[in-house]
Structure 1
């Protein structure tokens, strides 16, 4: 497993990411996560759709909360060909509770808590914390990565406009 230090920071302190190093044009790796009903899910679950995958440290933190609510709002205008997934290490029960309380019903929340399959496959697993870094991947209908944002400072939000533009340009 590859390690990269300093690609992301928390309050300015460098963190170490582990996992694959992906780039635009790569085939998006399959992964296995758990949905809010405790069933397995993965990239293949959303085959044939443009996928915006947003990885966040925890839905129960202010920036992750804002980001997921924003993507939920954006999802309303994207149509059926685009799906937005938010993946975190939060337990599926906590994700389901958070979505209900936040009124998030258009973003699919998935948990990587069991094996860190997504974090390792996409190179966003924070070694020291066993949380996911804040990152966004846009994957086309054929399973090719078309856009990547790994957010440098974990407390900052992604460039939503660039993500939405990348995704809508693939439909």
Structure 2
């Protein structure tokens, strides 16, 4: 069960799990370009966050900027319902050149294929996935309380970074 502010929420779309092939999806980047990030191969961490403008989401992505410093062998993608304007501002303010920040707001392809959209508020839940070089999910976590951070130790261990 997933909660938002201790209240249960309903996730829309199709949940994915370890062992599944991570679905190809389309989203908008911070410049409003439609991209298909999973068309690139390589080990990838995919993060679903409610909004980059909230303290927990910004903290989470800031930690990944730190974790991934000097580790170009693993890509990090963050997807939220934010408008590309907010993503561009966060990227600029945090000197982000490492995390691919993407918006699900227009196409909603990511949330449909990963079961991450909360019906009650239209935001994405907090989730984390590690995808291997062959596109298989080797770690999945739908964080039980959206206000909490993911299990960084388990996530980084699955990605081979611990």
TM-score over 0.5 for the pair: yes
- Could you tell me how far 1:128 is from its partner in structure 2? 1.7
Instruction: Calculate the TM-score normalised by the size of structure 1.
Output: 0.89
Counterpart of 1:4 in structure 2 is none
1:140 and 2:118 correspond: no
CA shift for structure 1 position 154 = 0.8
Structure 1 gap segments, 5+ residues each: 1-6
- SS of the aligned residue for 1:168 comes to coil
TM-score normalized with structure 2 length: 0.94
The residue number in structure 2 matching 1:71 is: 64
Contact 1:56 1:132 in 2 (8 A): yes
Distance 2:134 2:143 in 1: 25
Whether the aligned pair in 2 keeps the contact of 1:78 and 1:168 (CA below 8 Å) is no
Q: Which of these residues, 39, 44, 52, is aligned with residue 45 of structure 2?
A: 52
Q: Which of the pair is proportionally richer in strand? A: 1
Moved beyond 3 Å, runs of 4+ = none
Which of 73, 92, 106 is the matching residue for 2:84?
Answer: 92
1:105 deviates by 2.3
Give, in angstroms, the shift of residue 162 of structure 1.
1.1
Q: Which deviations, in whole Å up to 9, do the C-alpha atoms of 1:27-57 show, x marking residues without a partner?
A: 1111110111211112434x22111001100
What residue in structure 1 maps to residue 15 of structure 2? 21
Q: Distance in 1 between matches of 2:131 and 2:96?
A: 22
State the partner residue of 1:165: 157
Q: Distance in 2 between matches of 1:117 and 1:83?
A: 20
Instruction: Map residues 94-109 of structure 1 onto 2, 5 A cutoff.
Output: 94-109=86-101
| Counterpart mapping for 1:119-134 below 5 A | 119-134=111-126
Counterpart CA distance in 2 for 1:164 and 1:131 is 25
Q: How many angstroms apart in 2 are the aligned matches of 1:21 and 1:70?
A: 25
